[in-house]
Amino acid sequence: MITFTLWDILRNLLLAARWTILLSLVSFTGGGLVGLGLLFLRIGKRKAFRAFAKYYIELFQGTPLLMQLFVAFFGLGLFGIDVPAWFAAGLALTLWSAAFLAEIWRGCVEAVAKGQWEASASLGMGRLQQMRYVILPQALRIAVPPTVGFSVQIIKGTALTSIIGFVELSKAGTVVTNATFQPFTVYGLVALIYFALCWPLSKSSQILERKLNVAHRNH
């Protein structure tokens, strides 16, 4: 019978954690870019674009991420497209993240005083110039804490991708458990690794939020 040391178990889990981190980074970056585009559509003047962004956000916020993963993986397969698990996972998480980030950022943009829009308009600035030079710099300061906080949800959301065969941290935990028959040890280490990834982000989000509130009161 093969025996596994604690280091053997931990090493395999850490190797899988690399994929969790990579998928989280890809999803956050891709979601941020798509979310920024949705933000501009959502607050734009064209009714059709606003409606598209609104329904997109409602669709992805109103349906389970698990279902979105199934659609990305199996749905495209119905059209004869061979979809790798990593691509389906990245696509689903990116589109899901975009919906939440767009709405977070919309709230931050709307938190900027209306007088800022009026003042910049009186200077002859166009809509894009207003956003670039006046509104977004102020909204960015407000957006940092909730954005960092949401990144924790993305990391935890990667655990669901195991259902379509993507081998990230939680999937690796199942595989290692089947090999070692030490579920308590394995899943205890999995929990610790997730905590090590998420806690610094959660803490930094809280610190940034406190600093923002202090700066706002002083102002």
**pLDDT tens for each residue of 108-151:** 999 888 888 888 888 888 878 888 888 888 888 889 889 998 99
* The pLDDT value given to residue 141: 84
* The pLDDT value given to residue 28: 97
Domain regions of the chain by residue span: 6-218
- List of residues 6+ apart from 195 with CB closer than 8 A: none
* The pLDDT value given to residue 138: 87
Q: Do 162 and 20 form a contact (C-beta atoms < 8 A)?
A: no
Regions of the chain where pLDDT drops below 70 = 1-2, 213-219
Q: Tell me the pTM.
A: 0.89
Rounded Cα gap, residues 219 and 205, in angstroms = 21
Superfamily of domain 6-218, CATH level 4? MetI-like (1.10.3720.10)
* The pLDDT value given to residue 219: 53
Q: Do 214 and 35 form a contact (C-beta atoms < 8 A)?
A: no
